[in-house]
Amino acid sequence: MTKGESQEWDNLIKWLEEKHPGFERNLSLRDVPGLERGLVTSKKLKKGDILFHIPSSCMLNPLTLLPNSPIPSHLFPQTTSKSVPTSSLTPIQKKPRIGNPPRKLDTTQLLTLHLALTKDPKGRYKSDWQVYIDSLPISFRPWHPLTWIVGPSDKAQKEEWEWWNHLYGIGLSESTKLKVQDVKNRFERDYEVLSDVLKEEEPFKSQGLDGMISEEDILWAWLNVNTRSISIPLGLPGPSERNNHTLVPLMDFINHSSNESLITPKVKQLPTPSSSRTRKPSVTTKSNTNGSPSPHLPGKTNGHTDANIGIKYNAVLLPNKIDFQLSCPDRGLDANDEVLFEYGGHSSSTLFAEYGFCEVPKSPIPQTNGWLDMKYGEVDLTSYINELWDQQDQEDKEEKRQVLEDIGCWEGNTLHAQPSPCHPSHSLLMTIRLLHLPTSSPKLPNISKGLITYISPQNETSTLLTLEGICKKVIKEATKRDKVLEKLVKEEKNNEKVGVVGMLRAMCDEEKVICGEVLRALEKGDDFQ
């Protein structure tokens, strides 16, 4: 941890203590072996002791931004808030675009815009959260893979960028590239929206901010929101997965683990002490697709931390009057124990594409059972399945896709390490089974209704042979990619580059280990039903 990072931490704690009554902590920032930094306990703690208490006033979301934001109110997901008198808004905030339907930003776009405005070279948009913003990463180059395919505006960085862009081409599996491209697509859509806002909306248009806030500024802001916001129901209109993001000071310093024996915080939301207003609950606790009690988790990852850490929702919370509290687990913690939580049920390739890191087994020998014990050990076969889809007749593809969507098996073409033994997902098996069905098969209607999963012995033989061929191809390509990366490491002296290449090699090992186990199961004739 550098002297500058230490000072930013001290400034952040001072700001929280002085400006946000109710803030409490028993955590400190420390260098962590194998990582840059993390949060550790300041003293020995027992069951139920508070790790930290974050008041709602210091959180950053549309509801806390609205009262004093220079961003026009009609851009917010919710144009007015019951907790904010309309009279407190500025004249600019009250005016939507004339002659056009009001433009609405989702929470990712709004928070990105707020952060990007702090880059105004004339300093006209100093944030009330500036001390917190100063604690965020100042750049995501080169460690986030999105920056490997979005070129820098600074020509002096071009040569260095080309090294990382080359690494993207040779070091990532095709399925991981698809995930990075998905991140890029989301960024480009949001960038286009925010560029239009700066060009067309006042006061930004008159100030010429479109020419002052660069793509690099927006990329920096967007990646901070995409990698550090927490999904919390805010009670805003529109799709919940697009309007539920909050930046929570201190939370972004906590490192990830999927190991349940290491995950430490117990998390709950509770009414802000100063608030007596209540409302009926807007959410109910249901299991998501992974079975976790997280009502706010989107069906697909969008990069935002899902905070799959046991959040308890009280029945009378007002969205912008919610404090955030982490408490000590039942086992207690010793002084200097690191606090960890799970960013969501994400595989290594998803973590890498979204956050720029992957979780690696503690085992020193990758080919041991380390990968097989990983909670979310996974191999994504989407790129290989896409090749098979391309061989289908167009009309046939559309019919079969609709059937897979009807039974909830479209996409999800993955192999899993857990629960043991390694196995293909049900979605993957059903997809390959349908790919081997003749065009307009009479069995498709019953499959669509969920009445049939096993089609025929002949179909199953073809399905398993296809799965075997894909697994062998994955192992061959991962082995080839690993050899290229091994050579790159031997030639490279930069520790940062060596560390990133090491993660990519680890993902190669994951593919080889899991696919190898599935091949062994196929050879033994194990039943994947």
205-216 pLDDT, tens per residue? 999 999 999 999
Phi first, then psi: what are they for 192, rounded to 5°? -60, -45
* Most confidently predicted of 311-320, 354-363, 475-484: 475-484
| Domains, the chain, ordered by start | 1-8+10-20+37-85+103-138+188-253+270-310+328-351 (3.90.1410), 360-524 (3.90.1420)
How much of the chain exceeds pLDDT 90, in percent?
57
pLDDT of residue 263: 65
Of 63, 167, 161, 163, which Cα lies nearest the Cα of 501? Answer: 167
Type and span of the H or E element at 174: helix 174-200
Residue 30, H or E segment: strand 27-30
- Label residue 369 by pLDDT band (50, 70, 90): low
CA-closest candidate to residue 65, choices 40, 89, 92: 89
- DSSP 8-state class, residue 36: S
Question: Per DSSP, what are the bridge partners of residue 256?
Answer: 341
The residue with tokens 């990619």 is: 481
The residue among 215 and 300 whose pLDDT is bigger is: 215
pLDDT above 90 for 83: no
Residue 491 has pLDDT above 60, yes or no: yes
User: Which region among 76-85, 91-100, 137-146 has the lowest average model confidence (pLDDT)?
Assistant: 91-100
8 A C-beta contact, residue 259 and residue 373: no
Provide the token pair at 91. 């004249």
Collapse the DSSP code of 511 into the 3-class scheme (helix H, G, I; strand E, B; otherwise coil) and give the result: helix
Closest CA to 342 of 220, 230, 240, 506: 230
209-213, 306-310, 459-463, 491-495: segment of lowest average pLDDT: 306-310
Tokens coding 278: 């209540």
Residues 384/435, Cβ–Cβ less than 8 Å = no
434-465 pLDDT, tens digit per residue, is 999 988 889 999 999 999 999 999 999 999 99
Q: Which of 137, 134, 129, 136 is nearest to 16 (CA)?
A: 129
- DSSP 8-state symbol, 126: -
DSSP code of 83? T
Sheet holding 24-25, edge to edge: 24-25, 50-54, 322-327, 266-271
Instruction: Return the amino acid letter for 335.
Output: A
pLDDT digits (tens, 9 = 90+) for 122-145: 999 999 999 999 999 999 999 999
Under DSSP, the state recorded for 45 is B
145: left (phi over 0), alpha (psi -120 to 50) or beta: alpha
